[in-house]
Amino acid sequence: MSIGACFYCPVLPRRAWILGAVCSILPDLDVLGFRYGIRYGDFWGHCGFTHSLLFAAFAALAALLLGFWKELSSIRKFYLWTYLFLATASHGALDAMTDGGLGVAFFSPFDTGRYFLPWRPIHVSPIAIGRFFTHGGLAIFQNELLWIWLPATLLAAAALFLRRHTSEPSSTAASSES
């Protein structure tokens, strides 16, 4: 939402914003690996390759190729790719600010080390859906409201405010034309 507000362009079709939302959750497809015996710390494990910057770049390129290749100019393609890349990469960045897990393999496959950011205010969210509907799940939801949703909303509001105020002619310019 907030990254989309920063990249909003009336020329881009709505599916660009839908793809951005999909890209932002795409890295967590790796949790399906638990059902197939892939361990948390493995290459394909949770917060492994699918949370890397290289994966974000490939996911953005794939979304761009599948959804928009023929209808956008090369400048718009790069603009949209940047948006989709940031939407995907933001997932790993947020996971690296959690207080649990093994860290994020940002540089996989070149460096399979797992990293956290120095500031980790976000409580780790349970992977199992049933654990969301507990007292602990409510505490995690409240924490995410404070550390994810509030800043994201403020960023989106700031982007919308700046777009409105930088695209409107100033009152001094309008009065000097009269």
For the chain, the domains span: 2-124
Asked if 145 contacts 120 with a C-beta cutoff of 8 angstroms, the reply is: no
pLDDT at 173: 44
Judge if the upstream peptide bond of residue 109 is cis by omega within 30 degrees of 0: yes
Which is more confident, 126 or 28? 28
Q: What is the pLDDT of residue 77?
A: 87
Q: What is the pLDDT of residue 168?
A: 57
- Predicted confidence at residue 12, as pLDDT, reads 79
- Please give, one letter per residue, the 3-state secondary structure of 101-143: CCCECCCCCCCCCCECCCCCCECCCCCCHHHHHCHHHHHHHHH
